[in-house]
Structure 1
Amino acid sequence: MLTTLSVAVAALGGTALGLPNPTATDDTPVRILPQFWEFNITSLSGPGCPDFGLTDRGPFVTRPTFGLNTVDGSEIYYWHFAYPSLRTSIEPGTPSASIWCETTLSYAELDSNMVPVAKPGYHLKLHKNGTAMLASYELDDGVEAKWTFTYFPEGKREVVDTIIIDGPRSGNSYRDISPVNGLVQWPLPNCGLGTIRYRTQLTLTAKKDGARGSVSSEKVEYKDQAGWYGVQQGVSYDWEQCSS
């Protein structure tokens, strides 16, 4: 089961801030996590995220959105990041299409004043579970949508997750998670802060003549502006205590 974390960030804002969980009781699992933490997008590149630093698109830009965590003792955390421009389509005469974005995030453990802690207590560990993707699909029979998530751990080999969706599929807000067989997890090099870099690629392929397909997100309105909400990638993580 997943439950939403308490968050102090609007879905159309720009910073993801994790807040402490309610006080544990005797029958709840022991949780290993900092009091506060945050993620910020510090760099974007690629045709799937051409909006870094832009202000003329209103709120419909690449941004952090929301967090989730399990409550069954497995301690799987996710933070999601929306990509309004990461969408593509195919039609007769155009049997394949691809689009990508490379994202760099900063992570920091915070104190009660919402500034980086003077003495960090936790290492962030990436890839606690598979990568999640929330998206809208219109796929004919014979169309394959493939998500490829490539993580670049510092000083380590690339880690690749994939999600493959075979048509027919139609509808908004599907949430899929990549398979977790052979899951590789790694801590950030430094205690309490660090950088996360990954590449997200969407590829559509028609395996039948004349098949059509599109992957996008919901159209929404915000303060009299209309735009794409953005497909949302969920990055999974948990923590371990720093060695003294």
Structure 2
Amino acid sequence: MLFTFGAIAGLAGIALGLPHPWEEASGPIRILPHSWVFNITSLSGPGCPDFGDTAAVFSTRPTFGMNTVDGSEIYYWHFAYPNLRASVGPGAATSSIWCETTLTYAELDRLGTPPAKPEYRLKAHKNGTAMIATYDLEDGVVAEWKFTYYPAGKEPVVDTITVAGPVSPTSIRHNSPVTELAQWAMPDCGTGSIRYRTELTVTAKKDGARGAVSSDQVQYEGKSEFYGAQQGVSYDWEKCAA
């Protein structure tokens, strides 16, 4: 079972998480801080040309958080990428685009400030990667997402999601297959950073086949805007030594 919570100040590139009150009073014992925050501090690549664009409402940004409530303690925070789009058709058999993102994380106390003595250490990649995107793929067209994480001092961790046509125009959430746990802890309690590269490749394996991967379109101030394909970064915590 999943519980979803929105991103406070999400459109400003900040995601603030708060545990739900009733979760603390019942159910399994949870290992998590009172609240926490993610910031997008760096973007590079053709799939995210809008870093620092405060005028764009649907920019690359945090959107919402999600977690299980069955004791498995899997958390996700989602980040929207309106410019991560690719399509193929006659004369264009393959198309790809990418973005590199750096997130910073901080534990917060009940006053919304970093505690003098942090109590929890963030652990990244609890359950692979999730992706919510819109697919319109004819038979013979394949879309592949590749997510490469760069833990400091460790080998890169790679997740993939593959979607093969035919797929009628629809928004779908997929999770990368997890065959073995590749989780890593932040060096310090209460703070940390996560750097990753997101790549989308769409390939037509049949001559002339068409396909597109994008996101839902929404109307805003009389214009149609791409909401953004949403990557879910998974994580949990461990208690720091007293």
Q: TM-score range by the shorter chain?
A: over 0.9
The share of aligned pairs that are identical, in percent, is 65
What is the match of residue 70 of structure 1?
68
TM-score, length-normalised on structure 1? 0.95
What is the match of residue 228 of structure 2?
230
Distance 2:83 2:148 in 1: 19
What is the match of residue 216 of structure 1?
214
Distance 1:66 1:27 in 2: 23
What is the match of residue 3 of structure 2?
3
What is the match of residue 28 of structure 2?
29
Distance 1:130 1:175 in 2: 13
Cα shift at 1:112 = 1.8
Distance 1:24 1:67 in 2: 15
Distance 1:72 1:222 in 2: 37
* 1:201-212 matches, cutoff 5 A: 201-212=199-210
- SS in structure 2 opposite 1:127? strand
Seen in structure 2, the aligned counterparts of structure 1 residues 26 and 88 have a Cα distance that, compared at 3 Å, is closer
Distance 1:33 1:224 in 2: 42
**Cα deviations across residues 142-172 of structure 1 (Å, max 9, x unaligned)?**
1110000000001111000000001011233
Structure 1 unaligned runs (5+)? none
Q: Are residues 1:93 and 2:91 paired?
A: yes
Structure 2 unaligned runs (5+)? none
- Which has the higher mean CA deviation after the structures are superposed, 214-223 or 121-130? 214-223
Q: Are residues 1:105 and 2:103 paired?
A: yes
- SS in structure 1 opposite 2:54? coil
| Paired residue total | 242
Over the residues paired in the alignment, what is the CA RMSD in angstroms? 1.5
Distance 1:12 1:108 in 2: 18
Distance 1:52 1:24 in 2: 35
Distance 1:202 1:99 in 2: 5
Cα shift at 1:175 = 0.1
Distance 1:162 1:231 in 2: 15
Contact 2:137–2:169 under 8 Å retained in 1 = no
Cα shift at 1:55 = 3.0
Seen in structure 2, the aligned counterparts of structure 1 residues 8 and 201 have a Cα distance that, compared at 3 Å, is closer
Cα shift at 1:219 = 1.0
Distance 1:82 1:210 in 2: 30
From 150, 153, 167, give the equivalent of 1:152. Answer: 150
Contact 2:132–2:229 under 8 Å retained in 1 = yes
What is the match of residue 168 of structure 1?
166
Distance 1:24 1:203 in 2: 40
- SS in structure 1 opposite 2:127? coil
Contact 1:148–1:201 under 8 Å retained in 2 = yes
* 1:184-195 matches, cutoff 5 A: 184-195=182-193
Cα shift at 1:12 = 3.7
Distance 1:26 1:196 in 2: 31
Cα shift at 1:221 = 2.1
